[in-house]
Amino acid sequence: MSEQLTQQERLALIYRMRVWYPRMKFIYDEIVRAFEMNPLTPDPECVALLGQFRTGKTTIVESFYSQHPRTVGAKTTHVPVLKAVVPAKASMNALLTDLLAALGDPVAGRGSMGMKSHRLHQFIRDCGVQMLILDEANHFVDRDSERVLHDVSNAMKSLVKEHNIACVLVGLPYTEEVLKVNEQFGSLFGDPYLLKPFVWDETVPETIEEFRTFLCQVETQLPLSAHSTLTSREMAWRCFVATHGKVGYVMRLIRRTAEMAVRHDQPGLSQQLLFEAFERTLAGKRRQITNPFGQELPQTPGPEEHEYWPLRQQTGA
């Protein structure tokens, strides 16, 4: 079938494909459940999705969001899912502005905080918002002072409870501190769902098989005629070293390799193409990783990136 597609169509397929593994699918289903059950439950259905960079959080959220698009009616725009990014060092004023902008308010930045808050509540009612998704929820923590910003988290708690809308928090692992420190806000959520990178543990063969199965699923979706390169244990190990098991890095690497294969009329992925794609996309020097697709088989994954930082002990509410 791929031979019948134009080069541009094949490239579009490469960058549109989404590959799910069981952990991602489970979390996605929990978000779907929260959305569907919220009108039937007395308290808002809330989900916290946490994880390091490039572990698949965005894929889950964007996939769900795309299934519930806004529709323009005669009198108002129906927005079943309101998605916004929490601004850095989240202030109430900035967050209100961003939420209004996400709803489509043409004058989102105008007015006092009181006026913005009034408009936001009115728009949520008029637009029929059923779920609020807040990405980069780790910005509820001031990284300089390492303290939870209570005013904005309290405001979001009040917003969710007053309108009884479902809520999804998406952020880095330390976002959980918001739920621990602000107990009223945290009481709306169960334990966070944590997306972790794949693991390669020789003492637990299932971890290796899980990663190899994922690579196989990715490769079989590519619009290429040959599908065998990533199925070997050796090549899977090289891919793991290159990506530290992070879904986002895996997809960047394979997509770029597949793009090069299409442009150079190659039947499938090859070690040479993977070598070149790694050089161009995964910042090996900055990450201190020697290109694992060279002749020698790498012995260790190399240093991992430090993305998680714990909060110091909170001294006040």
Phi, psi values for residue 102, rounded to 5°: -65, -30
Q: How far apart are CA 58 and CA 172, in angstroms?
A: 12
User: What DSSP line would sit under 169-187, residue for residue?
Assistant: EEE-GGGHHHHHHSHHHHT
Q: What pLDDT digit, counting tens, does each position of 294-315 carry?
A: 999 988 877 766 544 444 333 3
The residue ranges of every structural domain in the chain are 22-195, 198-281
**What tokens does 239 get?**
């891919």
Q: What pLDDT digit, counting tens, does each position of 113-169 carry?
A: 999 999 999 999 999 999 999 999 999 887 666 577 888 888 999 999 999 999 999
Q: How far apart are CA 266 and CA 276, in angstroms?
A: 14
Closest CA to 254 of 286, 288, 293, 290: 293
Report which DSSP code applies to 304.
P
Mean pLDDT of the chain: 90
Closest CA to 263 of 23, 58, 14, 4: 14
**Distances in whole angstroms, Cα of residue 12 to Cα of each of 140, 201, 266, 268, 309:** 36, 35, 17, 16, 37
Q: What is the pTM of this model?
A: 0.85
Report which DSSP code applies to 189.
B
Task: Name the CATH code of domain 22-195 (choices 2.60.40.10, 1.10.540.10, 3.30.410.10, 3.40.50.300).
Answer: 3.40.50.300
Q: Are 159 and 116 in contact (CB under 8 A)?
A: no
The answer regarding whether domain 198-281 maps to CATH 3.90.550 reads no
pLDDT mean values, one per 10 residues, the chain (317 residues): 83 93 94 97 95 91 95 89 90 92 93 94 96 94 72 90 96 92 90 94 95 94 89 95 95 97 95 97 92 91 58 37
* Predicted local confidence at residue 141, as pLDDT: 86
Phi, psi values for residue 46, rounded to 5°: -125, 140
